[in-house]
Chains A and B, each alone.
Chain A
Amino acid sequence: MNVLVILKMVPDVVEELEVAENGAALDVEAARMMLSESDDHALEEALLLKERLGGKVTVVALDAPDVDEALYTALAKGADRVVKIEGLDQPLTTSLAAAAVCEVLRTQPDLLPADLILTGAQAIDDLDGLMAPLVAHHLRLPYLGVITGVAADEAAKFATVVKEYSGGVRGEFEVPLPAVLGVQSAERPPRYVPVAKIRAVMKTGRIETAAAPVMADGGLALTEVLALNKPEEAGGAEILSGAPEEAAGKLCGVLAERGVL
């Protein structure tokens, strides 16, 4: 089974995020990038499918700071091929990123056809859209999101996928292949790969590169970010005073306001 995985780097929120001088964008110099968490799960799910059904896992990512580390890690975990798309100015909106990836998938030989395309269900910077449905839209493929399990038959005609709803309820779907799935979490947590293995792969492995397309739309932006700022800081807890009954009453008021009650 041939699985294609799309990875994206997002700002690491463990570090403080700063706003750039213009007040409307992230200070990318100050930000540290990491692989989007659900993309890591998409990669894990792809590797699990490879272990069960054989075939290949190809990883595609747009160039970004520290993306090489993510790509070498993917190789160390068992991906067969990793391709980096270079030449686009960062940071990209998700719409532009999806369009660029799909253009490369269409024009670069041997990337398509794939039986299955996996990427994370959503990323923390998906302001103008989600990668998975956008890719499905461009490639005219079926799509389903919030996936937590994929099973496919050898003939790769259909996949049975599990989608999460809320409250612990899940749904089992039959999806015709090829299709695009937005993975919420893999059937097991992303595997650990020893650093020594990554270091070894950095010497022997290869990251292929592909040139980014000239964007047909000219990057027509349908939305404009006017301002980016830190949300109002809550400086410590607001203490609800009084005897237990009184404080409890006040708390109920807050809960009702917040839609909890």
Chain B
Amino acid sequence: MATCLLPGMTDLSISSLMQTEEGRRVMSCLQCGVCVGACPYGDVMDYPPRRIIAMLRAGMVEKVFLSDSLLACVACYTCMYKCPRDIRLTDTILPLAKEQVLVHQPDLPAELQRALQNTLRYGNPMGESSRKRAAWVKTCPVPVRIFAEDPRPADVLWFVECYTSYYPRGQDCSRATARLFHALGIDFAILGNEEKCAGECGRLTWEPGLYETLMDYNMAVFGKYQFRRVVTSCPHAHNAFLNRYRSLGFRWELHHVAPFLALHLDSLKRLLTRKLNYRVTYHDSCCLGRQNEFFDQPRALLDAIPGIRRVEMTHNRGNSICCGGGGGGMWLDTYYKSKGYERLSERRVKEALATGADVLAISCPYEVSRFEDALKVLGADKRMIVRDVTELLVESLGD
């Protein structure tokens, strides 16, 4: 049963949810359909959020669990953001429904299944050796302290996460982040090979047991070292720590890298001396944006870079269109293709291209590969490049 945001509720199921205030809110749904209209895949779901609630009310929710409709939910928070009743769709009722799908239909698409199995076994969905998680540190131009090698207390525990540790483009972002931390004189250390995926709800609400296993593990590792705050490169991990790890005792001050750097904007501005002549459009990721409303901080960072001209996409800030990586979507591309769905990353990239920008700036590790892929498929990879905000900041660093 999903550990969830409702305080004090550890063993939650749909039926026990109904006994709570949140459950009453769910049942007060207006059936207005704003969720379906806002959902990027609303038109292909057999059971979009509105209908799931209707089925619940009609005592027919089993049918939802037997359909594959929930595979199309990318956990982008748009429905929850727009719901006039403030029903906690994305982080409560939908994950509970997804759990039940897994119970009723043990046959998940193979790629997603592999990602879940890999995460359990190796602490990352790619199935890479856990002993290679910190290998990128050797390629970093500035020193990165690893707690296991040097357990002295640190100000910041930098939770790097999976894509930023193992994927070549993710490692570019990690190296950039390390350089920025150094330039700002931040005292930080990483968990290195001891780090495992935070297990965030977006992709892992299919698997609350896996999530719990990872939470237990990570909390135990945190307990080994002393640090004042946690800064993470992954908005999904940020969410996990902010919302779910609290129930296991996570009390540290928490930041995602982008808002964290924005706190140091004045010091940072002085270091950004190289002029970059880019026209940049910024993509608000679901977890940083809609979920936590960190809309201004990444924009402030970009605006601090001399020479950058920022343009907005049609759908921006709270209306941003998800890259399609959440909710398991990262491992369901082949499945979506087989169903004939348009890839959300392609939809978003078309919007980015329409702004005339030459750089698509992002702040979530999923987005780099998804958008670069989409640009290639659309044949536009010469017109626009994808850069993490940290990569752009480093490019502007004086030294």
Write the residues of chain A forming the contact surface with B, with a CB cutoff of 8 angstroms: 14-16, 34, 189, 191-199
Contact = CB atoms under 8 A, between A and B. Distances in A.
Interface string B108-132: 1010010011001110000111110
Nearest to B211: A195
A94 to B, nearest CB: 24
B129 A194 contact: no
* B interface: dominant SS: helix
Contacts of A194: 102-103, 207-210
A14 B117 CA distance: 14
Given A191-B106, A192-B106, A14 B209 contact: no
B213 interface: yes
A193 B108 CA distance: 10
The 10 A-B residue pairs with the shortest CB-CB distance in the complex, in nearest-first order = A196-B209, A195-B209, A195-B210, A15-B129, A192-B113, A14-B129, A191-B106, A199-B209, A194-B209, A194-B102
B107 interface: yes
B379 to A, nearest CB: 26
Contacts of A195: 120, 207, 209-210, 212-213
A158 B128 CA distance: 43
Contacts of B130: 15
A99 B208 CA distance: 41
Interface of B: 1, 102-103, 106-108, 110, 113, 116-117, 120-122, 127-131, 207-210, 212-213
13 contacts: A14-B129, A15-B130, A34-B121, A192-B102, A192-B108, A193-B106, A194-B208, A195-B120, A195-B207, A195-B210, A195-B212, A199-B212, A199-B213
A28 B203 CA distance: 34
Contact of B131 (A15, A189, A199): A15
A41 to B, nearest CB: 14
Nearest to A191: B106
Contacts, number: 43
Nearest to A198: B209
Contacts of A192: 102, 106-108, 113, 116-117
A194 B107 CA distance: 11
Contacts of B209: 194-199
Contacts of A197: 209
Given A189-B110, A192-B106, A196-B209, 8 more contacts: A14-B122, A14-B127, A14-B129, A191-B106, A194-B102, A194-B207, A194-B208, A194-B209
A171 B210 CA distance: 41
Q: Count chain B CB atoms within 10 A of each CB in A14, A191, A193, A196 and give the residue with the most.
A: A196
A14 B132 CA distance: 10
Nearest to B119: A195
Nearest to B110: A189
Nearest to A192: B113
A192 to B, nearest CB: 5
B278 to A, nearest CB: 34
A14 B122 CA distance: 9
B125 to A, nearest CB: 13
A101 to B, nearest CB: 25
A67 to B, nearest CB: 15
A152 B127 CA distance: 37
Contacts of A16: 129, 131
Nearest to B102: A194
A194 B113 CA distance: 10
Contacts of A193: 106
B105 to A, nearest CB: 10
Contacts of B208: 194, 196
Contacts of B128: 14
A198 B130 CA distance: 22
Q: Count chain B CB atoms within 10 A of each CB in A16, A193, A195, A198 and give the residue with the most.
A: A195
Nearest to A15: B129
Contacts of B131: 15-16
A196 B107 CA distance: 16
Contacts of B212: 195-196, 199
A75 B305 CA distance: 58
Contacts of B110: 189
Nearest to A189: B110
A253 to B, nearest CB: 33
Contacts of B127: 14
A196 B116 CA distance: 13
Q: Count chain B CB atoms within 10 A of each CB in A14, A15, A191, A198 and give the residue with the most.
A: A14
Nearest to A188: B107
Contacts of B106: 191-193
A124 B103 CA distance: 33
Contacts of A196: 1, 207-209, 212
B120 to A, nearest CB: 6
